[in-house]
Structure 1
Amino acid sequence: MPSAIVTGATGITGSAIVHHLLKDGSYDKIYSFSRGNPGYQDPKVQHVTLDLQSSAQDMAHAFEGVSAEHIFFCAYLASDDQAQLSRVNERLLYNFLEALELNGSAKKIKRFILTCGFKQYGVHIGPGKQPLLEDDPLLENNAGGVSWPPIFYYPQQRVLANAAKKGGWEWVATLPEDVLGYARGNFMNEATALGLYCAVSKALPGSELPFIGSKANYFSFNCWTSANLHAKFCLWAAVAPGAGNQIFNVINGDTESFQNLWPRMASRFGCHIPDPMFPNGGTPNTKGFKGYESSTIQLQNKPPLKSSAAALGLSSDPVSNDSPTLFLQVDPEKWAKREDVNQAWAKLRERYGLDQHAWDKATWNFLTMTLGRDWSCVGSMSKARKLGWTGYADTWDELEDTFKILESEGVLPPLDQLKRDF
C-alpha cells in the first residue's frame, strides 16, 4: 500500500486532501507536514512539525526517515509584493525538494502533486481569453510585447519539473479557482467573508443584501472549486495513467454567476434583495450603495488578453490594451470598519458565541478582486475529462455546505436562530 506526504496540512486544500486520503483506504500511512499540529486522531496519520522557510538541511533532519510514493504540496506564503511572493514560494518548494534528496526520501517518489491556481492565467491582473486552457501562453518573457508582473507558479513548476526529471519520477500541477472549503482556524477563503457579510447584513436595519461589487461582475460568468473535489482530483492525479508531467484545471464543472448565487444567498440568510440593485449604475467612479463607501481601483498592468491579442485579431482593440478597473459599490474593507457594522457583528458574536478571530482575519480584500472585477473567469475541464476524470460538484451546494460547517464551528450564527431573532 502506498504512503503519502501532505504539506500545508492545516490549510483548506491540504486538510481536505488528508481527509480524503483517509477515506480512500488504499494508503497505509499519511504524513501531515505543517508548523502547527492539525490534530488528526486517526492512527494512519503521523504529524511532522516542519517550517518550510527553514533551510533544506534543517528540513531534511526534521523529517528524516519519512518517505512516500505520493507527495501533495499545498503550502503557500502570502505577500502583497509580487516579486517577493514569487521568490519566497519558489524557494519554499526548491528547499523542500532539496531536503527530499538530502535525506533519501526522493528515491521513493512516484508522483508529486503541486497545488497552484488560476493566477496561472493572470486572473488577478485582468481578463484573459475565455475559456482558460492549460496550454494558454504564459505571461512572461514579454508575451504579447508586454512585461508582466511575476507569477510564482511558473518558477515553481520549472523547479518541480527539473527535480522530477533528475529523480525519475512524475509531477502534476493543479489549477483550482476560488476554493470553497474550511480548515479550522484558517479564514483565508471567500466563503467565510461572504458568510459574515450576509449574516451581519441580516442583523442590520432593513436586512438588505446589496451586491458588493460592480454591475459587470454581477452578470459575468465564473467557476469555483470545492476543496473536497480538488482533494479527490489530487488522489486521482496521483495514479491516473497519462496524467504525469502535466498541468490541469480543477474546477467544479458548472459555470455560475452572482446573478444566480446572490439571490440564493439572500434567501438563505433571510435578507432582502434590493431593487434597484445598482441605484447609482454600479460602474467605476460612481457613488456607493445608499451611503456605503464605494471604491474604484485602477490596475496597473495590461490585461492577460494582450498576450493572445494578435491571434484573436484584437491587437488594437481597447479590451486588449486598457488597464482593467475594479469597482466596489460597497467596499468590503471599509464596510467591515463601519461602526454600525461592528455593532451588528458584536451583537451576533455575543448572542451566539461566535469566533472573533474569524471577523478579525476575514479576507475582505479577497472580495475586492473576486467581486470587483468586470471580467469572467471560466476554465475548461476538457483536458482532465479526456484522461478519464469524471468528478463534478455543484457550486451552490458546495457554498451552502461550507456555510453549514462555518455555523457548526461558531464562525457564522445558527441559521434558524438568526432568521428568528432578526
Structure 2
Amino acid sequence: MASAIVTGATGITGSAIVHHLQKDSSYKKVYALSRSDPGYKDPKLQHAAIDLQGSADDMTKTLSGISAEYVYFCAYMAHDDPQELCRINGTMISNFIQALEKTGAINSLKRFVLTCGFKQYSVHLGNAKQPFLESDPVLEGEVGGETWPPNFYLTQQRILAEAAARSKNQWDWVVTLPQDVLGFARGNFMNEATALGLYCTVSKALPGSELPFPGCKAGYFAFNTWTSANLHAKFCLWASTAKGAGNNIFNVINGDTESWQDLWPRLAKRFGCKIPNPMFPNGGTADSKGYKDFEPSTTRMPNKHPLTARAADLGVSSDPSKEESPTLFCQINPEKWAARDDVNKTWAQVRDKYGLDQKAWEKATWDFLTFALGRDWSCVGTMSKARKLGWTGYADTWDELVDVFETLEKEGILPPAERLKGDF
C-alpha cells in the first residue's frame, strides 16, 4: 500500500485530492500539508502545519518523519507582479524539494505531481492558437519579436525537472493543466462558482430579478473549457501510476466545450432570474456604455495577443486583428457592482434572511469575474494526449457547476435556490 503527501491541502484542488486519496484503498497514509488545520478526523489522514514560504531548513523540521511514494503539489501564492510571482512560487517548490532531500524522504518518492494551469498557454495575456496542445511552444522572454513576461508555471516546471534529474531518474514528475476549476473547499472562497452564485443570488433579489451578463458580447459567444476539482483529483491519482505518464505535461479539462450563451440562461433558470432582451443594449464592446445604470470597465493590456507569436506559422501574419492589444470589457464591472449601495443592502437582506456567511461576500473573487467574463477570446484545450495513454474520465460542466452550487447551499454560503425563487 502506498502513501501520499498533498501540499495546499485546504485549497480547492488540494482538498479534492485529499478526499479522493482518503477513499482510495490502495493508499494507507495521506499527509495533508497546509498552514491551517483542516480538522480531518480519519486516522488515515495526518495534518502537518507548514509554511511553504519558509526556508528549506524550516521545512525540513516540519517534514521530519514524513515520507511518501507520491507527492501532489497544489500550493500557490498569488502576486500581481510576474517577476515576484515566479520568485515566490519557484522558491516554495524548490525549498520543499530540498527539504525532502534533506530528510531523505526523496528516496521513497516515485512520482511528483504538480498542479499548474492554462496560463501555461498565456491565456491570461490574450488570444492564443487553439485548441491548446501540451506540445505548443511557450511564451517567455523574447519570442516572435515581442518580450513576454515570465511565467511562474514554467519556473516551477524547470525546478521540478532539475530536481528529478539530480535523483538520476529515481523518480519522475507529472504536470497537470486544469482550466477555471469548479470546486469547493471549506473556508476558501477564491473560486469562480462562489462569485457567480452570489451574483445570481443578489440579482434575483434585486428589483426586476434580471440576470444581465456582466462581460462583453464576444465573450458571451466564445467557447471555453472548465475543470471539475473532483475530476482533476481523479486524474492526478491516475497519472501518479499510469504507465508512460512520467515526465509529461497534461491538459486536464472536463471533456466538453461550453459557452456562456449556453450556461447563462441555465443560471437564470436555476436562480429564478429573467434573461434580459437585449442582453447587450449598448453593443457590449470596448468603451461601450454600461448596462442600464451599472458602471462598465475597459482594460487594455500592454502586450499583443499571444497569437502574434505564431502568426507566421499559421499564415495569418497579415491579419490586422493580430496587431490589436487584448482588451477586457465588462458592461457591468463585477468589483464595482459588488460595492454598490443597493447591491450591498440587498445582499445584507438575503444574508440575514438565510443566515449566510458574510466572509463569502467579502472574499469573493470579483476581480476574477472581470477577467473570466470580460475577455473576448476562447480558451479551449484538448485531452487527446491523456486519452491516448488510457485516461477515460469525463465530467459535464453544467452538472459540476450545479454540484458546487448545491454544496455552497449546504455550507450556508448561498441560499437554497428553490426557497430563493419563492421568496423574491
| TM-score normalised by length of structure 1 | 0.99
CA contact (8 A) 2:3 2:30 kept: yes
Corresponding position of 2:154: 154
Corresponding position of 1:7: 7
Distance 1:24 1:319 in 2: 50
Residue 176 of structure 2 aligns to a residue in which SS?
strand
Shift of 1:264: 0.1
Corresponding position of 1:300: 302
Shift of 1:153: 0.4
Shift of 1:312: 0.5
2:392 to 382, 390, 396: 390
Shift of 1:318: 2.8
Q: Where does 1:242-321 land on structure 2 (aligned, <5 Å)?
A: 242-321=244-323
Shift of 1:22: 1.1
Distance 2:359 2:284 in 1: 32
Corresponding position of 2:116: 116
Residue 187 of structure 2 aligns to a residue in which SS?
coil
Corresponding position of 2:21: 21
Distance 1:146 1:385 in 2: 34
Distance 1:141 1:81 in 2: 15
Shift of 1:63: 1.2
CA contact (8 A) 1:137 1:307 kept: no
Corresponding position of 1:33: 33
Corresponding position of 1:329: 331
Matched, 1:366 2:368: yes
- Counterpart of 1:185, as a letter, is G
Distance 1:85 1:205 in 2: 42
Shift of 1:296: 0.8
Shift of 1:141: 3.5
Corresponding position of 1:353: 355
CA contact (8 A) 2:297 2:333 kept: yes
Matched, 1:169 2:136: no
CA contact (8 A) 1:213 1:368 kept: yes
Distance 2:106 2:231 in 1: 28
CA contact (8 A) 1:100 1:106 kept: yes
Structure 1 unaligned segments of length 5 or more: list them: none
Shift of 1:354: 0.4
Question: How many equivalent residue pairs?
Answer: 422
Corresponding position of 1:196: 198
**Once the two structures are superposed, what CA deviation does each residue of 1:304-323 show, in whole Å capped at 9, x if it has no partner?**
11221110012232333221
Shift of 1:19: 0.3
Corresponding position of 2:127: 127
Corresponding position of 1:409: 411
CA contact (8 A) 2:141 2:149 kept: no
Distance 1:389 1:320 in 2: 36
Shift of 1:226: 0.1
CA contact (8 A) 1:30 1:45 kept: yes
Higher mean alpha-carbon deviation, 185-194 vs 320-329, is at 320-329
Distance 2:386 2:134 in 1: 10
- Counterpart of 2:291, as a letter, is F
CA contact (8 A) 2:86 2:150 kept: yes
Shift of 1:44: 0.3
Residue 137 of structure 1 aligns to a residue in which SS?
coil
Distance 2:44 2:331 in 1: 49
Work out the percentage of aligned pairs sharing the same amino acid.
Answer: 68
**Once the two structures are superposed, what CA deviation does each residue of 1:324-379 show, in whole Å capped at 9, x if it has no partner?**
11100010000000000000100011000000000000000001111000000000
Corresponding position of 1:105: 105
Corresponding position of 1:216: 218
Q: Which aligned segments of 4 or more residues in structure 1 are displaced greater than 4 angstroms?
A: none
Corresponding position of 2:420: 418
